[in-house]
Amino acid sequence: MIKTAVFLLLISTLLICPYTLRGDDNAADKLLMQARAGDVTSQLRLADELMFGRNNRKAMPQLAVYWYRQAALQNSPEGQYNLAICYLQGWGVDKKRPAAAYRYLEKAMHNGVIKAAIRYAEMSAKGVESASDPEGEFPEVKPDESRALAILRKISGYDPEAEIMLAQMLFKHVSKNAGELLELLQKHARRNNAHPEMLLIYSALLRSGSAGICDLKAAAQLLERAAAMKNPEAMAQLAELLHAGSGIPTDHERAEKLNKAAFQAGSPRAMVNRGMEYLTGIRRPHDPHKAFALFADAAKKGYPAAWRQMAFCHAAGIGTPQDERKAFNCYLHAAQGGDAPAMFQLGEYCRLGKGISPNLQHAVMWYLRGAEHGEINAMREAGLALWHGRGIKQDQENGEKWLRRAALAGDRTAAETLNITAPSLF
């Protein structure tokens, strides 16, 4: 209580000083007087003006936070949401306060603010650390993806961002949610104003075969739609398919134009694509050091596949000194960012003891994670581990499930294990 009182006293002092310096203007400041009288609408308007420096007011984020909080304490949904965002971003406060933000987002969500529900779901999925705060002690919030999904399912029909986040979370554990995800994406793709991010997820689902459908042609068509909207990620992905002739006729000239446009737009995927050309000497002079530098730049942007390519370079000593431990750590960065091929590689590293002590149980864990993300090799290895009971309790039913999915995606070893014919990838 003492800390809270001191905090509010300091803010109140800041509030008084700037306006007393304005002399006669202070008496004429009706908005300030109405805010002080407790009018919520005036408090919110004053907070906005102070946050952004509007209507000839000097930008004073600390005072803006004070007035958002006054509105929030009167159960204003807008005040609760804006205060939470200030706490999350560290605007007008001495440091970010995620625990307090989480509680105000919860209040705003229950008051019907869709954007608050989205941020609340996002934080619920990741969890929030406990914190001592001027507003009280906030206990730890443990990650709860099921709660996040339940919230997003309720609001996805009202907000495009919620729908995208729902699709991303369903894709994260696609083996459990394949049917729901496929239905959501199919419904969205039928819209004339389909969002490019949803088309990208749908394309990835069709390319992976993890929903029981592997359709490279349809995947390419979805990327064409997203690329036509000038989406850099879609342009970079479509360039890859055009170079490979995967689901679409080969067209190197068009692929180069698309990847160049994506590169100029700052796409980390396009950076990796260009890095691969320097690495392989295909279409560009062989220059492993330039390749590694491009991978590193893309990794700084948080692109998981860039970390995977850095791992490959560290493992092989290409463009950088060989270092299996660094390779393992880079694969770990990539896998934690959701990169499925890196999950498979981590499984291999754990199984073989490269850069880390051998651990078959950890290997199977990473194989299963990669399989859930649609990685063909991970599906096969997870299936084989379950089929034979290697590093995990034997479960031939689930083992067969993963082997069949791998076979459907074109893996011949999985098909031979089950004595079925795998579709050709070529």
Give residue 82's domain range: 2-122
Per residue in 88-116, pLDDT tens? 999 999 999 999 999 999 999 999 999 99
- Quick check: 423 pLDDT over 70? no
Q: Are 388 and 402 in contact (CB under 8 A)?
A: no
Q: Are 343 and 350 in contact (CB under 8 A)?
A: no
> Does 410 reside within a domain?
yes
Per residue in 281-332, pLDDT tens? 999 999 999 999 999 999 999 999 999 999 999 999 999 999 999 999 999 9
Q: Are 160 and 201 in contact (CB under 8 A)?
A: no
pLDDT of residue 419: 83
Q: What is the mean pLDDT of residues 1-14?
A: 35
Choose one of 65, 88, 122: the last residue of a domain.
122
Q: Which residue has the tokens 């950076």?
A: 271
Q: Which of the four pLDDT bands, split at 50, 70 and 90, describes residue 27?
A: very low
- Quick check: 191 pLDDT over 80? yes
What tokens does 402 get?
A: 């993963």
More confident residue, 413 or 68: 68
The domain total for the chain is 2
> Does 116 reside within a domain?
yes
For residue 404, give the CATH number of its domain. 1.25.40.10
Choose one of 104, 122, 140: the last residue of a domain.
122
d(CA 94, CA 108): 23
Could you give the 3-state DSSP secondary structure of residue 53? coil
> Does 8 reside within a domain?
yes
Region for residue 38 given its phi and psi (left: phi exceeds 0; alpha: psi -120 to 50; beta: otherwise): left
* Cβ contacts of 386 within 8 Å, gap of 6 or more: 392, 394, 395, 396, 398, 399, 402
pLDDT of residue 210: 75
> Does 398 reside within a domain?
yes
d(CA 235, CA 262): 6
Classify strands 131-133 and 136-138 as parallel, antiparallel or unpaired.
antiparallel
> Does 117 reside within a domain?
yes
d(CA 202, CA 198): 6
Choose one of 92, 107, 122: the last residue of a domain.
122
Q: Are 307 and 320 in contact (CB under 8 A)?
A: no
Could you give the 3-state DSSP secondary structure of residue 144? coil
> Does 251 reside within a domain?
no
CA separation, residue 223 to residues 230, 234, 248, 266, 424 (Å): 11, 6, 11, 18, 22
Q: Count the helix, strand and coil residues of the chain and give each as a percent rounded to the nearest 5.
A: 70, 0, 30
> Does 18 reside within a domain?
yes
Q: Are 232 and 267 in contact (CB under 8 A)?
A: yes
CB-CB neighbours of 301 under 10 Å? 12
Q: How buried is 17 (Cβ within 10 angstroms: 0-12 exposed, 13-18 middle, 19+ buried)?
A: exposed
> Does 196 reside within a domain?
no
Buried-state track 182-197, b at ≥16 Cβ within 10 A, e below 16: bebbeebbeeeebbbb
